[in-house]
Structure 1
Amino acid sequence: MTTPTLHQPAVRTIDQLIEAVRTGTYGPDPAQGRIALAFTTAQAVHHAGRSGGYRNEVLSLRLDAAVGSCAVEPGALPPAALDDCVGASVAELLSHPMLPVQVAALDAYLSHVRPHTPEHGARPYALPAGSSLHRSRARARAVVGLLPATGIRRVLVIGVVNSLLEQLRARGLEYVPCDLKGGATEWDEPVRTDALAELEHCDAVLASGMTLGNGTFQPLLDHAAATGKPLVMFAQTGSAVLPRFVGAGVSAVSAEPYPFFWLDGGPGVIHRYGGTR
């Protein structure tokens, strides 16, 4: 483990972060850390009172006591990917041809050397016990609370989560929902599929960590860094990766490492970085 510190090297791209890991900037040689366990978690949900449901699938890799994760489109991950990961070194997986494997390996390594503790800048936020919907709404309050309290009128939401939209509505904020799958929100609002086309028309961005795994994160980071717009990430994917970009375009992160809130009904915790509240 590295010495706990709030300081971190300046990185502005995922490639720069991977290179910093490879060269030992964050601690142990990633060639020496091997993945002991690779697994996927699949979820289908339809909350009571909601008009529709959805499915999630997540690739997770175990490195010592840490678990790194990256969401994938359901059914998109070939079974051989798990075989590729088990017993491989982190360094090898950082060059894997599948981006989700790279992200999960990077997340596992950074979760190991930069755990979610106050020494590394994390602020714990307790989630209550209860139903999946109850806990989803509690998480939404934590995430939306990372947006600036003033100066925001319209929020670009990338990765539609109805509980987040519900919380934005409760705060009187306009939003533009975007998701590569398209469709409609709980309130029959059309979901846009081209988030980049909407950036100029919004005052802040609220984006899922899934943007890491599908390769759409960098344009968001570049736009936020160039314009100073708040970019808040809610991260099950890359929960230890995205805090490394706070201050370099990302304004705040809600980090949620495995196991995620939807896997259990008991009390839990997420970790918040940056923000003003």
Structure 2
Amino acid sequence: PDSALDDCVGADVAGLLEHPLAAVRVAALDAYLMHVTPHTPDHGALPVALPAGSSLEKSKARARAVVELLDLRAGGTVLVVGVVNSLLEALRSRGIGYVPCDLKGGVTEWSEPVVADALAAAGGCDALLVSGMTLGNGTFEPLREHALRHGKQLVMFAQTGSAVLPRFLGHGVSAVCAEPYPFFWLDGGPGVVHRYRSSGGVDRHGTSGVVRQHGSSGGAR
């Protein structure tokens, strides 16, 4: 509501972290963490350049950057929470099955049914690929707990909470593709996304995947 915007103008972070609306708390925490731990290699971020081009071309490039974070062979199945057709296409091209999930329901570009209950569908999947928007609607924490309990990969693709979710690495989240504002689709020029991994290894772009931890996940609301 408009009143929430009025609450934010001129407010300090400490006050906004106690705001009754979860979306405001997430936004405040994201802004604070972007300030103190920006998406740089010093903080574990590995930049991946997106080429200039149409929104569709850039979306496909971003999808490849996201899907490469999944350590899953062909024949596996991924729960995709937050349906993005370019992500589904990237999974299809690798022979990876998926269960599309979105609160809106509906069907995918390939007329596949979209389920609305992510947690109910998670049990039949080998890994989870989840939108950062789950931070604001209360569905992230059950999925994080499911991944921890069952030892599954949880890869986040995040515009919402792009600076928050890397703090959960090693606490249920295995990798993050962070996309802070301005987003790739706002113009036709080149862009960048930032990838994080929870453990050592070599990124497919040739950079070490070691992530520095900056405290536990307990401070995120």
Same fold by TM-score greater than 0.5: yes
Q: Does 1:214 align with 2:146?
A: no
Contact 1:152–1:203 (CA<8 Å) still a contact in 2?
A: no
Structure 1 vs Structure 2: percent identity of aligned residues? Answer: 73
Match of 1:255 in 2: 178
SS of equivalent residue, structure 1 residue 80: helix
Q: CA deviation at 1:151?
A: 7.6
Match of 2:40 in 1: 117
**Which one of 84, 96, 111 corresponds to residue 161 of structure 1?**
84
Q: What CA distance in whole angstroms lies between the structure 1 residues aligned with 2:160 and 2:123?
A: 26
Match of 1:140 in 2: 63
Q: What CA distance in whole angstroms lies between the structure 1 residues aligned with 2:74 and 2:182?
A: 35
Unaligned runs of 5+ in 1: 1-77
Match of 2:147 in 1: 224
Contact 2:64–2:90 (CA<8 Å) still a contact in 1?
A: yes
* Greater strand content: 1
SS of equivalent residue, structure 2 residue 107: coil
Q: CA deviation at 1:227?
A: 1.4
**Which one of 179, 198, 204 corresponds to residue 121 of structure 2?**
198
Contact 1:157–1:206 (CA<8 Å) still a contact in 2?
A: yes
Residues 139-158 of structure 1 deviation map (CA, whole Å, 9 limit, x = unaligned): 00000000004386000000
Residues 143-191 of structure 1 deviation map (CA, whole Å, 9 limit, x = unaligned): 0000004386000000000000000011111100000010110001010
SS of equivalent residue, structure 1 residue 201: coil
Residues 219-267 of structure 1 deviation map (CA, whole Å, 9 limit, x = unaligned): 1111111111000000000000000011111000000001011112100
Q: What CA distance in whole angstroms lies between the structure 1 residues aligned with 2:125 and 2:182?
A: 32
SS of equivalent residue, structure 2 residue 114: coil
SS of equivalent residue, structure 1 residue 253: strand
Q: CA deviation at 1:211?
A: 0.3
**Which one of 70, 78, 83 corresponds to residue 6 of structure 2?**
83
Q: What CA distance in whole angstroms lies between the structure 2 residues aligned with 1:222 and 1:113?
A: 27
Match of 1:107 in 2: 30
Moved more, 133-142 or 221-230: 221-230
Q: What CA distance in whole angstroms lies between the structure 1 residues aligned with 2:73 and 2:136?
A: 31
Contact 2:73–2:96 (CA<8 Å) still a contact in 1?
A: no
Superposition RMSD in Å: 1.2
> TM-score w.r.t. structure 2 length?
0.88
Alpha-carbon distance change, 117 to 152 in structure 1, aligned in 2, over 3 angstroms: farther
Residues matched between the structures, number: 200
Letter in 2 for 1:117: T
Contact 1:152–1:204 (CA<8 Å) still a contact in 2?
A: no
SS of equivalent residue, structure 1 residue 183: coil
> TM-score w.r.t. structure 1 length?
0.71
Contact 1:155–1:203 (CA<8 Å) still a contact in 2?
A: yes
Q: Does 1:98 align with 2:43?
A: no
Q: Which has the larger radius of gyration?
A: 1
SS of equivalent residue, structure 1 residue 175: strand
Contact 2:105–2:114 (CA<8 Å) still a contact in 1?
A: yes
Alpha-carbon distance change, 226 to 152 in structure 1, aligned in 2, over 3 angstroms: farther
Contact 1:114–1:240 (CA<8 Å) still a contact in 2?
A: yes
Contact 1:158–1:178 (CA<8 Å) still a contact in 2?
A: yes
Higher relative contact order (CA 8 A, sep 6+): 2
Contact 2:66–2:177 (CA<8 Å) still a contact in 1?
A: yes
Q: What CA distance in whole angstroms lies between the structure 2 residues aligned with 1:152 and 1:172?
A: 6
